[in-house]
Amino acid sequence: HLEEVDVAHVLSEIEMADAKQIAKCVKEGGKKGVELAGCADLGGLEFFTTQMQEPKGDVDLLQMCMDAANKEVDPAEEESKGGSGEVGKMLLSAGDAGLALINYVPASKADKVNAEEWMAATLKEVGGGEVRKSSPTTCVAYVAEDKATGRFVLKDKDTCQAQSVQFLKAKGLFPQADEEEDDWVPDEDADIEW
C-alpha cells in the first residue's frame, strides 16, 4: 500500500530549495557586480560579457543575478555587492536544457549600444533563440538544447560569448590587444624579480 505524502512538507522543502538557489544567484550576481564595477573603474571598460554558474540556464534566476549586479552598493553591508548599474553587460548561463542570456545597457550608454541589436548579433551564429523580453536597454533570450539537430548548450554558450565580444569589438567598445604591450620588458632597475 502507498504511504500518505505530506504535501505541505514536500512543498516546504521545494520552496526551501528554491530559496537557497535564489540566494546563491543573488550572491553570485552581487559579487559579479562588484567585480565588473571595479574593472570598469580601473580599466575604463564600459561593456562586459560574462558567464554565471548558479542560474544553471534558468532565465528568471539569471535575471536575479543581473538585478543583484546592478543594485546600488549598500555602504552599511559588511561585504559589498552590486554597483555595476553603469556598466553594460551580457550574462550567459548554461543548464542541462538550454542557455539563458540577458543583456543590459545603462541609459547613459544607450547611444553606444542597442540591447536588441546586441542580442540579435549574439544569437545569430547559433541560429537564433527565443527572445522573451526585448527593449533598447535590455533583452532576455533562451536557446534550448536540441541534440537531434546538433544544438548543444555548451557549444552555444561559447559561441554566444564570442559573438557578444565580437559585437562589442566591432563597435569599438572592447579593448583590442596591443602587441607592443605584450612584449614589455622592465628596466633592470625596476625592482622586479623573475
How is 19-31 classified by DSSP, letter by letter? HHHHHHHHHHHHH
Find out whether 53 and 28 touch, Cβ atoms under 8 Å: yes
Total residues belonging to the chain: 194
| pLDDT for res 177 | 59
Q: What share of the chain is helix, strand, coil (3-state, %, to 5)?
A: 45, 15, 40
CA 187 to CA 56: how far, in whole Å? 47
Residues of 134-151 as b/e, b for ≥16 C-beta within 10 angstroms?
eeebbbbbbbebeeeeeb
Instruction: From 118, 70, 127, select the one nearest 99 (Cα to Cα).
Output: 127
Find out whether 84 and 39 touch, Cβ atoms under 8 Å: no
Beta-sheet strand order (sheet of 47-51) = 47-51, 88-94, 98-104, 138-144, 130-134
Condensed to tens digits (0 to 9), the pLDDT of residues 74-119 reads 888 888 888 999 999 999 999 999 999 999 999 999 999 999 999 9
Give 139's strand partners: 103, 134
Which stretches of the chain drop beneath a pLDDT of 70? 1-17, 176-194
pTM: 0.82
